[in-house]
Amino acid sequence: MKIRLALLSTVILASSLAFAAPSEAAGAKLPPLGVLAGSESKVASYEAWLGRDVTHVTAFVGGGTWANMEQQAGWASGSWRGSSRTAVYSVEMLPSDATITKGNAGSYDEYWRAIASRISQNDPDGIIRLGWEANGPWFDWAWGDNPTGYRDYFRRIVGIFRSMPNQNFQFMWDVAKRVPEVDVAAYPGDAYVDIVGLSFYDRSSWVKEADPVERWERMSSTYGTSLRWLDEFTAAHNKKIGFAEWSVTTNHYTGVDPDNTLFIQNFYDWLVARSDRVAFANYFESAQNSQGYFGLSNSDTPFKKSAALFKQLFGNAPSVPSSTATTAKPTPTTAKPTPTTAKPTATTAKPTATTAKPTATTAKPTATTAKPTPTTAKPTPTTAKPTPTTPSAGLDHPIGRVCAPAAQRSTGSTNSGYWVLRSDGRVDAVGVPFLGDIRNSGTAAVSIEATSSGAGYWILAADGRVHPFGDAVSHGDLSAVPLAAPARGVASPATDGGYWVVGSDGGVFAFGLPFLGSMGGIDLEAPVISIAANRTGDGYWLVGSDGGVFAFGRALFAGSTGGWDLAAPVVAMAVPSSETGYWLYAADGGVFAFGVPFHGSIPEHEGCGQPNAVHLEPTASGDGYWVVDQQGLVYAFGDAPQVGHAYDAASPVVGFAAG
């Protein structure tokens, strides 16, 4: 232990040498503060929580097609028209099936003039964050092996924006925190860039350090696009620094405490030391999306300590100088509470590696009686399917071969393979036909649901759009509805007569099926992360990240982990065709069986590390299931066949469906 503390002190000393500490005097100057909160009312609520006004907001202009982009440009800029705050508009560069080559040939100039005109009419003083995170492979506009093509396209678009009358735009060139160094050939040039930005999140899913001190050292100094790189690059080009997105997050390896006050304190110190060079620092105040939880101001935030420190440092409170208290790691939560002796009701096997005490809740919650807003009209359905693109091949992987247990039975399942959905909208087909995806839609994918025939699927995006492929039929979506919370899951019964969409706030929207109730407008202990339908279309279940289960209609409540002290949050729920119960699946790979057979879980198998688990999917027979982790490794249990993997460490998995 003494050796470890000495090492920590050495790391902190190195950090203090690398970055000059701010003045210890009271009244340290902060750079302009901002937030990504979605609407004027949400920003006002955030300001009330923080105790001070913010000067900047982050907005997004996308939509997957040129028409949607123009509409979004008008809506987003209109939302901040006349506001005293400066809006940072994150604008897509390649909607739909557009390419950089065609863009440089002038094929899209007409569209860009329409988009630029919409924004300039409403907000001619906005900041244009064009083609953000351009070094990341998750966006089609990333420069990849064509940095000069990207550079020229960026310049062309800037020229069109500058041609608008009475405009006073600033332009932001933005990258993401990644290992490779930035290719300087992709830099558009000083004449086209006013601000250089970096998306900066505290997460260990890619920066593979569980220790917060080591993680900060790497992100701030030794990582490819680190704070050191940003500091040196902007100084060399005499440019301002901008953070359109930064936050703590739950996107970590299992066992890492996401409530990281060290990150908040150190980033505060870094900003204060450069307050005259930072144009804005906008916190990503999003409660939940496909990448995790980020928000500080909600009552259910998992970052209680970080939120308190953030308010103290950034809020309207006495100024706090750089603190020597940050020289030690935040105390890890390694102690587990003593479990009670009762087991979950009607489980046929004890869940593997359970570290929680059972809840006393024995009855299903009362359903809300009102439909979520709006109730008078169906949202406008999508008019066309995205153009299918060729998927990357499903890959085998030695980790999966070692860790995936042998199937307990060789017969019984009628499934031949599965589809793996990634956050960028890509679908990898393993043992089943590729039917299309939404990688060019410009929106984050969050869920995939297969049809009963196994010959089609729906993909749900975070903005509520539902994209059908194969024999899946569109019954409408939320494209025309302003959402109170991001869409989180889609579920369809065996009849395929429609589907339900749920948001992270528990609000349920029915398309082609009856509305049976929701948790919308109810103060939840944890955000809703999944929805599952019964076979007949007259019931559904919702589940929160704490494992709390809510049953509606004819769906039967069989138990939950709500109120348990879990070692890792619940990330998925699955219901077999028998509907005798369901499985809950936690981020550490643990499976909880309620009224259904327990077929095994990842932690019980020797040599298997705990994954960033994402989803559990039952076989058609219900006598087995697959679990999939964030990188696309697939683990088969019971009669589930091990068809292969879709391994890709760069693009996180958000959904899984069996064909």
The domain limits of the chain are 28-327, 398-658
Q: Residue 30: CB partners within 8 Å, gap ≥ 6?
A: 271, 272, 275, 314
Q: Residue 261: CB partners within 8 Å, gap ≥ 6?
A: 305, 306, 309, 326, 330
Tokens of 603: 């932690």
Q: Which amino acid is at 572?
A: A
Q: Give CA torsion, residues 297, 303, 306, 310, to 10 deg.
A: -10
CATH of domain 398-658: 2.130.10.10
Q: Which residue has the higher pLDDT, 13 or 413?
A: 413
Query: Most confidently modeled of 402-406, 474-478, 604-608?
Result: 474-478
Average pLDDT, the chain: 79
Between 54-58, 179-183, 335-339, the lowest mean confidence (pLDDT) is in 335-339
Confidence (pLDDT) at 413: 57
In 3D, which of 590, 575, 581 has the Cα closest to residue 620?
575
Confidence (pLDDT) at 335: 31
CATH of domain 28-327: 3.20.20.80
**Residues of the chain with pLDDT > 90: what percent?**
46
> From residue 102, how far is each of 65, 70, 107, 360 by CA, in Å?
15, 19, 5, 61
**Residues of the chain with pLDDT > 70: what percent?**
77
Residue with tokens 């601000």: 195
Task: Give the pLDDT band (50/70/90) at residue 482.
Answer: confident
- 637 touches 624 (CB < 8 A): yes
Q: Which amino acid is at 423?
A: S
Q: Which amino acid is at 635?
A: Y
pLDDT of 73 above 70 = yes
Confidence (pLDDT) at 167: 94
Tokens of 264: 């908040």
Q: Buried b / exposed e across 498-527, counting CB within 10 Å, b at 16+?
A: bbbbbbbbbbbbbbbbebbbbbbeeebebb
Tokens of 415: 């499934």
pLDDT of 15 above 60 = no
Digit-coded pLDDT (tens) for 89-103: 999 999 878 999 999
Q: Which amino acid is at 67?
A: A
Confidence (pLDDT) at 10: 27
Q: What mean pLDDT is predicted for residues 20-38?
A: 66
pLDDT of 205 above 70 = no
First-last CA distance in the chain: 51
pLDDT of 74 above 80 = yes
Please state the length of the chain.
Answer: 659
28: DSSP letter:
P
How many whole angstroms separate alpha carbon 74 and alpha carbon 61?
9
Question: Can you give the three-state secondary structure of 360-423, one letter per residue?
Answer: CCCCCCCCCCCCCCCCCCCCCCCCCCCCCCCCCCCCCCHHHHHHCCCCCCCCCCCCCCEEEEEC
Q: What mean pLDDT is predicted for residues 545-550?
A: 92
- 90 touches 132 (CB < 8 A): yes
Confidence (pLDDT) at 290: 53
Residue 375 exposed, middle or buried by CB count within 10 Å (0-12, 13-18, 19+): exposed
Tokens of 527: 């955000």
pTM metric for this prediction: 0.49
Residue with tokens 């039929």: 473
How many whole angstroms separate alpha carbon 653 and alpha carbon 650?
10
Contacts of range 23-30, beta carbons closer than 8 Å, 24 or more positions apart: 23/321, 24/321, 24/322, 25/321, 26/318, 26/319, 26/321, 27/319, 28/272, 28/275, 28/319, 28/320, 28/321, 29/272, 29/275, 29/276, 30/271, 30/272, 30/275, 30/314
